[in-house]
């Protein structure tokens, strides 16, 4: 029988030499903090082919995450997690995950699916022209 190993359990089984560098990144402070979206009206955020159906892709330059909750339907949000500001991650797993403390947000409307975040991701208005996803 296989038992899933938690991060704490994994660290407990490691040697002190291995665990010490890992612990340096395990505080309560986010590893990556991002600012609010930096989008100019009319600028291209992404191409439709970049976004997985049922997933999302993060664009660090514009600090946005673009989602495709269902085929041909696109939404965009700030990529800054509303918990402590880490950058959310790209995913094809039906949600927008934040790796820092485990929050997850809806592909559809940026609402919180799983805490500790309590506030939704702010939406970025977009329009889709051909295969280009543009900021409005």
Shortest reach from residue 39's CB to ligand FES, in Å: 21
C-beta closer to ligand FES: residue 93 or 125? 93
User: What is the C-alpha separation between 115 and 65, in angstroms, rounded?
Assistant: 18
C-beta closer to ligand FES: residue 50 or 84? 84
C-beta closer to ligand FES: residue 30 or 110? 30
Shortest reach from residue 78's CB to ligand FES, in Å: 12
| HEC readout, the chain | CCCCCCHHHHHHHCCHHHHHHHHHCCCCCCCCCCCCCCCCCCCEEEEHHHCCCCEEEEECCCCEEEEEEECCEEEEEECECCCCCCECCCECCCCEECCCCCCEECCCCCCEEECCCCCCCCEECEEEECCEEEEC
Binding residues vs ligand FES (CB under 6 A) = 30, 81, 83-86, 98, 100-103, 116-117
Shortest reach from residue 126's CB to ligand FES, in Å: 23
56: closest CA among 133, 135, 127, 136?
133
C-beta closer to ligand FES: residue 80 or 135? 80
Shortest reach from residue 42's CB to ligand FES, in Å: 30
């Amino acid at each position: 029988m296989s038992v899933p190993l938690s991060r704490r359990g994994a660290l407990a089984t490691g040697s002190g030499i291995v665990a010490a560098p890992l612990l340096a990144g395990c505080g309560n402070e986010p590893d990556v903090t991002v600012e609010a979206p930096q989008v100019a009206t009319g600028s291209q955020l992404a191409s439709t082919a970049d976004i997985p159906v049922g997933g999302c892709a993060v664009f660090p330059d514009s600090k946005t995450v673009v989602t495709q909750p269902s085929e041909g339907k696109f939404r965009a949000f700030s990529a800054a997690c509303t918990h402590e500001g880490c950058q959310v991650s790209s995913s094809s797993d039906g949600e927008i995950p934040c790796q820092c403390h485990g929050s997850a947000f809806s592909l559809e409307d940026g609402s919180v699916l799983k805490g500790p975040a309590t506030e939704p991701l702010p939406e970025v208005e977009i329009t889709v022209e051909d295969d280009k996803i543009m900021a409005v």
